[in-house]
Amino acid sequence: MSDKTIVLGVTGGIAAFKAAALASLLVKKGMTVKTVMTKAATEFITPLTFQALTKQPVYTDVFAEHDPTHISHIDLADHADAIVIAPATADFIAKVAHGMGDDMLTTILLAARCPVIIAPSMNVHMYANPLVQKNIATLREIGYEIAEPGEGLLACGYEGKGRLMEPADLVFYVERALMPKPLRGKNVLVTAGGTKERIDPVRYLTNDSTGTMGVDLARVAWLMGAQVTLVAANISVPVGPGIDVIPALSAVAMYEQVHTRLPEADIVIMAAAVADYRPREVADLKIKKTGADLSIDLVQNPDILASLQGKYKQGAFSIGFAAETHDIEHYALEKLHRKGVDLLVVNNVLESGAGFGYGTNRVDLYDREGFVESLPLASKFDVARMIIERTIARIGVL
Residues 203-222 within binding reach of ligand CTP (CB under 6 A)? none
Residues 279-318 within binding reach of ligand CTP (CB under 6 A)? 301, 303-305
H or E element that contains 42 = none
DSSP string, 146-172: E-PPEEEE-TTS-EEEEEPPPHHHHHH
Smallest distance from ligand CTP to CB 339, Å: 6
Smallest distance from ligand CTP to CB 338, Å: 8
Binding mask 316-345 for ligand CTP (x = CB under 6 A): ----xxxxx----------x---x------
In the bound state with ligand CTP, the residue whose beta carbon lies nearer, of 113 and 326, is: 326
In the bound state with ligand CTP, the residue whose beta carbon lies nearer, of 223 and 322, is: 322
d(CA 264, CA 275): 25
DSSP E strands: which ranges in 128-247? Answer: 145-146, 150-153, 159-163, 187-192, 197-200, 203-205, 227-232, 244-247
Q: Does 116 bind ligand CTP (CB under 6 A)?
A: no
Smallest distance from ligand CTP to CB 236, Å: 17
In the bound state with ligand CTP, the residue whose beta carbon lies nearer, of 172 and 321, is: 321
Which residue among 156, 178, 245, 372 is the active-site one?
Answer: 156
Smallest distance from ligand CTP to CB 378, Å: 20
Burial string for 78-113 (b: 16+ CB within 10 Å, else e) reads eebbbbbbbbbbbbbbbbbbeeebebbbbbbbebbe
Q: Does 251 bind ligand CTP (CB under 6 A)?
A: yes
Smallest distance from ligand CTP to CB 263, Å: 17
Q: What is the number of other CB atoms lying within 10 angstroms of the CB of residue 330?
A: 10
Burial string for 8-34 (b: 16+ CB within 10 Å, else e) reads bbbbbbbbbebbbbbbbbbbeeebbbb
In the bound state with ligand CTP, the residue whose beta carbon lies nearer, of 74 and 298, is: 298
In the bound state with ligand CTP, the residue whose beta carbon lies nearer, of 81 and 324, is: 324
Smallest distance from ligand CTP to CB 270, Å: 4
d(CA 35, CA 60): 9
Q: What is the number of other CB atoms lying within 10 angstroms of the CB of residue 305?
A: 23
Closest CA to 282 of 352, 197, 216: 197
Q: What phi and psi values does residue 364 have, to the nearest 5 degrees?
A: -115, 145
Q: If you count them, how many residues does the chain have?
A: 398
Number of shown-chain residues binding ligand CTP (CB under 6 A): 17
H or E element that contains 217 = helix 212-223
Bond into 238 cis (ω within 30): no
Residues 263-282 within binding reach of ligand CTP (CB under 6 A)? 270, 272, 274, 276
Closest CA to 254 of 276, 238, 239: 276
In the bound state with ligand CTP, the residue whose beta carbon lies nearer, of 22 and 316, is: 316
Q: Does 354 bind ligand CTP (CB under 6 A)?
A: no
Is residue 156 annotated as part of the catalytic site, yes or no? yes
**213 three-class SS:** helix
In the bound state with ligand CTP, the residue whose beta carbon lies nearer, of 133 and 374, is: 374
Q: Which residues are catalytic?
A: 156
The residues of the shown chain that bind ligand CTP, judged by CB under 6 A, are 191, 251, 270, 272, 274, 276, 301, 303-305, 320-324, 335, 339
